[in-house]
Amino acid sequence: MRQLKGIKILLVDDEPHILEFLELGLTNEGFEVMTAQDGISAITACNKFQPHIAILDVMMPGMDGFEVCRMIKKTDNVAVIMLTAKDEIDDRVKGLTLGADDYMIKPFSFEELLARIYARIRNHFPNLFGEVVIGPLRMDDRRKEISMHDRILELSPTEYELLKFMAINHGLVLSKTMILDKVWGYDFGGEENIVEVYIRSLRDKLGDKEHKLIRTIRGAGYRMDLT
């Protein structure tokens, strides 16, 4: 993954050792990093620093990560990744409802966090990349086109959004619920099996007969392998 100069990341966590570890790792990756240890400081830092990505711990004294997310999403074009120590569906739903773009459950690997950061940058700030090339796919969000080996794929609008979402999150296991939230929207009232229908269509258009590009992870969801 290539580094992007000028990308700003705000880290918010009340545990100093986590902040120190993440700040060191992200700085070494070439990002500009600012940290905060509570919600009030996070709001102040966000106004001053104008980050592209905010990584917010949910459980903080005083103003929690949910409230920080709600406030910064009102005025700032910032992608939010929530960190939670609880594998609770209610926490994830609440964060997504308030505008969070992704969530991770502690403990997590730095490599996965990095992958999710780049995914959010591609999704939120596509102009920073221009055309994005991942493996055999070339994505041009301005033209709403995706090509494979220089052949433009004939995709419906929903197929485009689904393939784009899976491509920018390649290597990560995506559950049907997550796919529905991000591609169809949180208020989608249909059945989860619509995802299977569209995955089948994408496999046909990608020529993925052996399911090597889009893999089914039994009991968990789907993973796209592009590298």
- pLDDT tens digits, residue range 200-211? 999 999 999 999
Residue-averaged pLDDT of the chain: 86
- Total-model pTM: 0.59
Answer left, alpha or beta for residue 3, where phi above 0 means left and psi between -120 and 50 means alpha.
beta
CB atoms within 10 A of CB 217: 11
Q: Tell me the β-bridge partners of 55.
A: 11, 81
Going across the sheet that includes 151-152, the strands are 132-134, 137-140, 145-148, 151-152
Please tell me the distance from the alpha carbon of residue 220 to that of residue 191, in angstroms, as a whole number.
17
Please tell me the distance from the alpha carbon of residue 175 to that of residue 220, in angstroms, as a whole number.
6
Question: What's residue 34's pLDDT?
Answer: 96
Given a contact cutoff of 8 angstroms between Cβ atoms, the answer to whether 134 and 119 are in contact is no
Given a contact cutoff of 8 angstroms between Cβ atoms, the answer to whether 199 and 222 are in contact is yes
The tens digit of pLDDT for each residue in 27-69 reads 988 889 999 999 999 999 998 999 999 999 988 878 888 899 9
